[in-house]
Amino acid sequence: MFVTHGEEKTKKRGMIIALLCVALVCVIISLVMIYWNRASGETAIFNAANAGFGMGSQTTCKVYGPSEETCREQAEAMQKEIETLEAHISRRIDDSQTAAIVNATGDFVEAPEVVGILDVMLPLCELSGGRLDPTIAPVTELWDIDGLNPRLPEKQEILDRLKSVDYRWKELGSP
């Protein structure tokens, strides 16, 4: 199958979007929990953790708070949020929003979760001068780390794929 330059870039974008989304959700939930704990005046701190799998990685959500039950509920809620986000933005799920973008299926509907992530991430790409680039997936796929044949790619393979890396290549929502 022939893959165009744009399709490779879009696949890269999907991977980075997914990872940044998970990190953003975890930070937001943690900040809410810290604020809630301070506002309640509670001094005893409990914790709970919930492990799972999402975005191609092992995840552990650890929460500190005023009661063990609250911590457990919040850790479970965080893990469910990771799973929900993965359903929308994982490039590994065929019917996700990211897959629709990457594969240019025409089935893309601007889900608020995806648009929100892009609204945060694209300015960061600009600020970094392109060093943060969600379109890097075709390059990282060369190593096949999560596949059956991990390997060290040749320099020329990397250089060839780098030609398709550019977060500015495609604008979502544009005609």
Q: What is the CATH number of the domain that holds 96?
A: 3.10.520.10
In Å, what is the CA distance from 143 to each residue of 93, 137, 148, 157?
20, 10, 11, 11
The length of the chain, given as a count of residues: 175
Q: Is residue 139 part of a domain?
A: yes
At 39 the pLDDT is 67
How high is the pLDDT of residue 2?
A: 46
Residues of the chain scoring pLDDT < 70? 1-11, 15, 37-44, 99-111, 113, 169-175
**Does residue 97 lie in a domain region?**
yes
Q: Is 41 inside a domain boundary?
A: yes
Give the amino acid at 103. Answer: N
Judge whether 175 lies within some domain: no
The predicted pLDDT at position 107 comes to: 53
pLDDT for res 101: 63
> Rounded to two decimals, what is the model's pTM?
0.49
Residue 148 belongs to some domain of the structure: yes
With respect to residue 22, please indicate whether it lies within any of the assigned structural domains. Answer: yes
* Total domains, the chain: 1
Q: Residue 136: its pLDDT value, please?
A: 81
Range of the domain at 107: 5-169
C-alpha dihedral (99, 104, 106, 108), degrees to nearest 10: 40
